[in-house]
Amino acid sequence: MKGWIIKSCLIIGIIVLAVFLYIIGKEHIVFVENNTFTIDGKIYEPYDLVRVTLDGGEPVEIKKPRGRSLGRAKVSTTGLNHKVLVEILDDDDNVIESKEAKFKVKNNVEELLLNIPAMMNDAEGWVANNQKTIYVENKPFTVDGKTYEPYEFVRVILDRSKSLEIRKPGDGHTGMDKGTVTDLRHTLYIEIMDENETVLESKEVSYTVEHAQTKLLINIPAVMNDLDGWLTEYEE
């Protein structure tokens, strides 16, 4: 009996340990952005040069986005609780202003995004999930009384990598599909096809996402007809 208790405790212990290891060992990719951002209407301007140190690791220096520099750096880290130290530098690398902040990550978040300007200004949501879920619907779209019908069969390619095939709603089809993309700037490529997959019409559009947004909805008829509001926030 005693043996059993101890055994089960041991097993539970091991499982707990495993979970613990999983959490502290899990890799998170952090994009540190020194970029122009608009968070609920307010615009944050990037700095000329910032030095960012994440969890006391290797510091990275990020210039203002100009020419080749994208104004961002990719840092990899593990664990849930993080500390970021930001130093604003002038041309001859003197620290003008520095600031330290802590933030948490959800374990299942693969990539996240640190918005330096926002952080410096203590704006809400300067930490955001860099993974965006794009919901694509092939459904009727109505704007001032006029309704645009969905297409029989559509292939959608997100960021030239993830491809979705969506049929018209009805007989088993929802007319809806989703894919995840990372980052803010995206492309959307649409092919309208007939039954034997010959492309009748195709179109590519590019769009950017507000970095606080994580779920977006795209309506294909709207896109094809260049109607505003083809890209909206998605609500369940």
Report the interface residues with other proteins, using CB under 8 A.
Answer: 2-3, 6-7, 10, 14, 17-18, 21-22, 24-27, 76, 78, 110
Q: What is the side-by-side strand order in the sheet with 231-233?
A: 176-182, 131-137, 215-219, 231-233
One-letter amino acid for residue 25 of the chain: G
Distance CA 34, CA 77 (A): 19
Shortest Å, Cβ 178 to other proteins: 16
Q: Which two tokens stand for residue 221?
A: 């008829």
Contact in structure between 186 and 159 (CB atoms under 8 Å): yes
Nearer to other proteins, 34 or 130 (CB): 130
Provide the phi-psi class of 96: left if phi over 0, else alpha when psi is between -120 and 50, else beta: alpha
Nearer to other proteins, 24 or 95 (CB): 24
Contact in structure between 178 and 166 (CB atoms under 8 Å): no
Q: For residue 113, give the nearest of 25, 167, 177, 52 by alpha carbon.
A: 52
Shortest Å, Cβ 25 to other proteins: 3
Nearer to other proteins, 14 or 96 (CB): 14
Nearer to other proteins, 8 or 232 (CB): 8
Nearer to other proteins, 42 or 160 (CB): 160
Shortest Å, Cβ 198 to other proteins: 25
Q: For residue 136, give the nearest of 184, 92, 191, 81 by alpha carbon.
A: 191
